[in-house]
Amino acid sequence: MGPNDLIRQHVLGPPKSADGVRTIRVPAVLLPVLVAAAGGRTAGPLFVTGAGRRYVHQMVSRGLTQTLAALGLPRRNGHVLRHSVATHLIAAGVPIADAAVYLGDSVATIVKTYLHPAGTDPADTLDRLYGGRKVGRGTNPAR
């Protein structure tokens, strides 16, 4: 596989599903970055080369790897960011169905693919919901 094959492999094409085309609201802190990256363009890839072409996947991966290394963080691929966003949205209390719409996925895909344990203890929530009452042996005041 030569360099031209890599370029042909990562071309702009139709989304995998109808859910892939959507308008989303981005966090306010990212808006200036995205506006600057678009440079007045209203269609096509967001981040482009100086010649106006879409970056080849390997170039994006290399940039991410170098940035993470400079920050002293472990190497990750860019798709792990999608997993993190899904996990953080759900952990913050966003309903799974709303997170699925935002990410352009089905609820089943979010649960099966992107949802990861957030490290919370469900017992704490149950204590809040039910008052932390103990049940079982040793809790009957008649004994």
**pLDDT tens by residue, 74-89:** 998 888 888 888 888 9
User: Residue 57: what pLDDT?
Assistant: 79
Residues 61 and 110 in one domain: no
Domain tally for the chain? 2
Dihedral sign for Cα atoms in the order 40, 43, 48, 49:
negative
User: Is-contact 54 7, C-beta < 8 A?
Assistant: no
Dihedral sign for Cα atoms in the order 126, 128, 133, 134:
positive
Residues 10 and 65 in one domain: yes
User: Is-contact 56 10, C-beta < 8 A?
Assistant: yes
User: Residue 1: what pLDDT?
Assistant: 47
In a domain, residue 141? The reply is no
Residues 68 and 96 in one domain: no
Tell me if residue 30 falls in helix, strand or coil: helix
User: Residue 95: what pLDDT?
Assistant: 95
Residues 2 and 72 in one domain: yes
Residues 85 and 34 in one domain: no
Residues 31 and 73 in one domain: yes
Q: Which residues of the chain have pLDDT under 50?
A: 1, 4-8, 143
Residues 36 and 84 in one domain: no
Structure tokens at 92: 């913050």
Residues 71 and 27 in one domain: yes
Residues 65 and 94 in one domain: no
| pTM score, whole prediction | 0.60
**pLDDT tens by residue, 1-13:** 455 444 445 555 6
In a domain, residue 83? The reply is yes
Residues 64 and 93 in one domain: no
In a domain, residue 108? The reply is yes
User: Residue 9: what pLDDT?
Assistant: 53
In a domain, residue 57? The reply is yes
Residues 46 and 85 in one domain: no
User: Residue 143: what pLDDT?
Assistant: 46
| Through-space distance between the first and last CA atoms of the chain, rounded to whole angstroms | 78
In a domain, residue 140? The reply is no
Residues 7 and 72 in one domain: yes
User: Residue 8: what pLDDT?
Assistant: 47
Range of the domain at 24: 1-77
